[in-house]
Amino acid sequence: MSAHKFNPAKLAKLNHPDRYHRENPEWIWETLALDDPRVIVDIGAGTGFFAIPFSRHMPEGVVYACDIADEMLDWLEKNLPAELQGRVIPVKMEERTVPLAAEQADLVLMVNLHHELEDAAAILAEAWRLLKPGGKVAIVDWKDEETESGPPVEIRLGESRIRQQLVDAGFAQLKTHGILPCHHFLEALK
């Protein structure tokens, strides 16, 4: 079964101001309470809605903005603020692999991606590989209920299913944050 994928032709939706009311990057950054992160890997980064603001909190760090869609990466490269050149690095990835070295990330972030995955176990194993020992994975995805926008409810995953996938991948100290009106927000440690 092929998973639902976001249509890159609709990439303007990814930067719509309404997103700040549903999934504000600052709320997520503050909740994660990262301790001086140097490397973040944003899997499914799209237009950099999270990569760009997260990088502004990391003057000495880098955010790898990974996506499978060339259109997203091209848009990000063309629209990346000059002061963030070299701090937000677009990376072409495959469905199940990210071409970055192992054990370098303080955080692997996946926003509005989980419901699109063909093989969640493979991408969670990839997140594990990318994370330093003690690093965090954060998953933000649409609640499996009707919301004002988002993908069809029938392709969304319940929080308990995502939690079980994290446990099956070896992650520990799972936390759920109920701060987002339309999204599940889970974090766990390697």
pTM of the entire predicted model:
0.92
Number of domains in the chain: 1
Residue 114 lies in a domain: yes
What CATH number does the domain containing 129 carry? 3.40.50.150
Asked if pLDDT for residue 101 goes beyond 50, the answer is yes
Cβ atoms of 183 and 143 within 8 Å: the answer is yes
Residue 17 lies in a domain: no
In the block, residue with structure tokens 């937000």: 88
List the domain range (segments joined by +) for residue 48.
22-189
Strand pairing category for 39-43 and 88-92:
unpaired
Residue 183 lies in a domain: yes
**CA nearest neighbour of 121 among 153, 75, 167:** 167
Asked if pLDDT for residue 161 goes beyond 90, the answer is yes
Residue 10 lies in a domain: no
Residue 15 lies in a domain: no
DSSP sequence for 108-141 = EEEES-GGG-S-HHHHHHHHHHHEEEEEEEEEEE
The one-letter code for the residue type at 80 is L
Residue 136 lies in a domain: yes
pLDDT for the residue 1: 30
**CA nearest neighbour of 96 among 3, 172, 28:** 3
Instruction: Choose the weakest-confidence range: 3-17, 46-60, 70-84.
Output: 3-17
Residue 14 lies in a domain: no
Residue 8 lies in a domain: no
- State pLDDT tens for residues 62-92: 999 999 999 999 999 999 999 999 999 999 9
Residues forming beta bridges with residue 105, ordered by sequence position: 131
